[in-house]
Amino acid sequence: MAHFAKPSAGSWTQQYPELGTSPVDYNDSIDPAFYEKERAAIFKRTWLNVGRIEQLPRTGSYFTKELPSAGTSLVIVKGGDGAVRAFHNVCRHRGNKLVWNDYPAEETAGSCRQFICKYHAWRYDLTGKLTFVQQEEEFFDLDKADYGLKDVACDSWEGFIFINLDPQETLTEYLGEMAKSLAGYPFGKMTEVYRYKAEVGANWKLFIDAFAEFYHAPVLHQKQAVKDEADKLLTYGYEALHYDLSTSPHSMISSWGGMSPPKDPSMVKPIERILRSGLFGPWDKPAIDGLDAASLPPGLNPARHRAWGSDSFEFFPNFTLLIWEPGWYLTYHYWPTAVDKHIFEGTLYFVPPTNARERLAQELAAVTFKEYALQDANTLEATQTMIATRTVTKFPLNDQEILLRHLHKVVGDRVQEYSDATAH
């Protein structure tokens, strides 16, 4: 039985006829040749979110970002002029990785006045200019102006830093209406950060699939609720309040939030009752402006539903922004490392707590996030191994899995378009 209204087309999926309703082929998640095409058609020419401006608090602050899917490592740095720039993390002399600590493959962050290569001490300023060459007189006609760091397009939206190895359009054009509809949300005040990272033995799209539908939640996570509540959730199943794919390649899902706070405190676990917090975050909003219903940007709670709980925005290809009604947000990033492997990052952002009660409420939300994500991650490895057997190749997706259907279609379309354009 439907609890929330569907569009007049009869279903969310049929509202977007180009998606079709037939079973979906998951070859795109197991075929190494397809993965190589994805890298070229998507990761090497799409705006990718690599972090937030709070990670670069002052002149000379930097962090590195490993992008095996795009075939490079980048260093992102704040210059003396306040601008954030991105460079390929490679010394122009003989190709050593410029910025790294102890382990060349691991990401690092810090603050510096200039970059000095570990190999022969070539130096670059914060704008990428080569400023010093060891024994410069030994070289032949070397003009330092020709050997600055190779830069990469870098821009930001609402404090989120994006890079693009081969931009086809500006960041603003790329992010489009979906981003515009979220402008003004107080992201910049949510600076209390918990970041988790894991290597997951599954194609990057499979984890997006897991987080882009909540159809699985009452089943996979049923043990996490108290018994009576779990039984009730299982009977109800899951229905979204709203889906929007009009901003394709990006998409969003809007969800009910009845657990924060719960109608009946006996629905939740003892520690949640004491700390007034749980998976959906602290039940009480932080005391900052911009979080009451009247001042939220128009992109949030598009159905204007009283029971609104969270909106999950899928910025194509691999950046999820999940905003919760009680005033905090989560980001997910899925960084492919092979057809059947990716690095997953989940980051929670809260307004800094003003007292012990708020601090422990945030702690419970962060700990709870990890409990759920561990179940999700392991399920994915089980999925990847069985899809890879090709025993079954086509999978029926229901109306609450529309964002998955959309993701696989957009990836397929982009790969096809790119292959067609480069075939000549």
Partner 1 sequence: MPLPTEFADLTPYTDWILPTEPERYNKRLNSSMDQMQTFYDAAINRLEDAITYCDQYPINDLPDPARELMHLMQSLIMVSFPVEVWKQPRVPDSGAAYLNITTEPVI
Q: Looking at 121-129, 233-241, 332-340, 350-358, which segment touches partner 1 (CB under 8 A)?
A: 350-358
**Beta-carbon count within 10 A of 148 CB:** 16
Q: Residue 362 corresponds to which tokens in the numbers above?
A: 């945030």
CB of 357 to partner 1, least distance (A): 5
- List the one residue from 67, 91, 275, 321 that touches partner 1 (CB under 8 A): 275
- Three-class secondary structure assignment of 12-63: CCCCCHHHCCCCEEHHHHCCHHHHHHHHHHHHCCCCEEEEEHHHCCCCCEEE
Interface pattern 166-205 for partner 1 (x via CB under 8 A)? --------------------------xxxxxxx-x-----
Q: Taking CB under 8 A as the rule, does residue 370 contact partner 1?
A: yes
Q: Looking at 117-125, 306-314, 329-337, 376-384, which segment touches partner 1 (CB under 8 A)?
A: 376-384
Q: Taking CB under 8 A as the rule, does residue 368 contact partner 1?
A: yes
Q: Taking CB under 8 A as the rule, does residue 14 contact partner 1?
A: no
Q: Which residues pair with 16 in a beta bridge?
A: none
Q: Looking at 120-128, 290-298, 329-337, 349-357, which segment touches partner 1 (CB under 8 A)?
A: 349-357
C-alpha dihedral, 287 to 290 to 295 to 298, nearest 10°: -130
Among residues 149 and 364, whose Cβ is nearest to partner 1? 364
CB of 217 to partner 1, least distance (A): 15
Phi and psi for 157 in degrees, rounded to 5?
-135, 120
CB of 388 to partner 1, least distance (A): 17
- List the one residue from 168, 170, 295, 378 that touches partner 1 (CB under 8 A): 378
Q: Which residues pair with 170 in a beta bridge?
A: none
Q: Which residues pair with 394 in a beta bridge?
A: 25
Q: Looking at 7-15, 117-125, 268-276, 409-417, which segment touches partner 1 (CB under 8 A)?
A: 268-276
CA distances to 194, 287, 363 from 261, in Å: 22, 17, 17
Instruction: Identify residue 56 by its one-letter amino acid code.
Output: L
CB of 371 to partner 1, least distance (A): 5
Q: Taking CB under 8 A as the rule, does residue 371 contact partner 1?
A: yes
Q: Looking at 246-254, 259-267, 285-293, 356-364, which segment touches partner 1 (CB under 8 A)?
A: 356-364
Alpha-carbon distance of 385 to 392, in angstroms, equals 12
Contact yes or no for 347/49 (Cβ under 8 A):
no
- List the one residue from 374, 390, 416, 419 that touches partner 1 (CB under 8 A): 374
Among residues 295 and 354, whose Cβ is nearest to partner 1? 354
The residue among 294, 292, 272 whose CA lies nearest residue 283 is 272
Within 211-250, which residues bind partner 1 (CB under 8 A)?
A: 223-224
Q: Taking CB under 8 A as the rule, does residue 346 contact partner 1?
A: yes
Q: How many CA atoms lie within 13 A of 68 on its CB side?
A: 14
Among residues 31 and 54, whose Cβ is nearest to partner 1? 54
Q: Taking CB under 8 A as the rule, does residue 112 contact partner 1?
A: no
Sequence-distant (≥ 6) Cβ neighbours of residue 212 within 8 angstroms = 251, 253, 312, 314, 320, 401, 403, 404, 407
**Beta-carbon count within 10 A of 419 CB:** 12
Residues that bind partner 1 (CB under 8 A): 192-198, 200, 223-224, 269-271, 274-275, 344, 346-347, 353-360, 363-364, 366-368, 370-371, 373-375, 377-379, 381
